[in-house]
Amino acid sequence: MPASRTEAVQEALRQAIIEQKLRPGAKLPEDALGETFGTSRTIAREALGRLAVEGLVDLKPNKGAFVANPTLEEGRDIFMVRRGLEQTVTGLLAGRLRADQMTQLKAFNEKERSVSGVDEKESIRLAGEFHLLLARMTGNQLLIRYVTEVVSRCSLILAMYGRPHSADCGVDEHAEIIAALERGDAPKASHLMDHHLESVAGRAMLEARAEHDIRELLAPYAARIKGMTE
C-alpha cells in the first residue's frame, strides 16, 4: 500500500496514464485532481511533480501539467537506454538469486500467463512490473530508480502506440530470462533481455485516442483512495 496520500494519488494517476484512460497531452488541473481524489491541491501538485520526474507528466511554466506526449522517435531513444540498464540488471542477478527469489519470479511469471490473452491492460501492467521486480532484486538503489523511470516511460509509449495484446508474447520471453538467470548464464540472460526489449519496442503503431472529461476518467482510481486521510 502507498505510504502516503501523495504516493496514493501518484500511483492512481500513473495507472490511469499507463492504462490509457488519460490521453497523451491531456491537461491535468490541480483543482480537478484535488476534487476527484478528495485531497488538497498541494498533494495533487506533489504527485504531479513526482510523475514529471518519471517522464509521465510534462510541467509547462504558466500553463500547468499535462500527460506526456512522447514521439515514436523519443520512444526509441527511451528503449535504447532501457536495454542498456536491464542488461546490467541481468548481469548482476545471474547465478546470484536466492531460492526464495527464484520462487517469486516463477510465481510472478505464472501470474502473467494466467492473464495473457484475457486481460490486455493487466498484461501490460504485469509486463512492466516483472522488470521492476528484477531491478529491485539487485538491491542497487540507483539502478532501481533509473529502471523504474524508464519502465514507466516505456509503458506510456506502449499505451500510446502498442498493438493489441502486444504484451502477451512477452510471457514466454520472461520465462526464458528467468531460466537463464537460474542457470547463472549471464551472457545468455543478457542476450535474451536485449532481444526481448528489442521485440517489445518493435510492436508499435500510431492510434488516435478519444478525449474525455478528466473527472469521469479518474473516478474509479479516486474511489480506491477516498478512504485515506491526508
Q: What is the pLDDT along the chain (230 residues), one digit of tens a residue?
A: 456 899 999 999 998 988 778 888 999 999 999 999 999 999 999 999 999 988 899 999 999 999 999 988 888 899 999 999 999 999 999 999 999 999 999 999 999 999 988 887 788 788 889 999 999 999 999 999 999 989 988 888 887 876 654 455 689 999 999 999 999 999 999 999 999 998 888 765 534 345 567 787 788 888 878 666 55
Ordered by start, the domain boundaries in the chain are 5-68+209-225, 72-202
**Are the C-beta atoms of 71 and 33 separated by less than 8 Å?**
no
Separation of alpha carbons 189 and 185, rounded Å: 6
What's domain 72-202's architecture?
Up-down Bundle (1.20)
Separation of alpha carbons 87 and 196, rounded Å: 11
Q: Measure the CA dihedral 178/104/98/186, to 10°.
A: 20
What's domain 5-68+209-225's architecture?
Orthogonal Bundle (1.10)
Q: Do 5-68+209-225 and 72-202 come out as alike in CATH topology?
A: no
SS3 assignment for 111-162: HHHHHCCCCHHHHHHHHHHHHHHHHHHHCCHHHHHHHHHHHHHHHHHHHHHE
pTM confidence score: 0.75
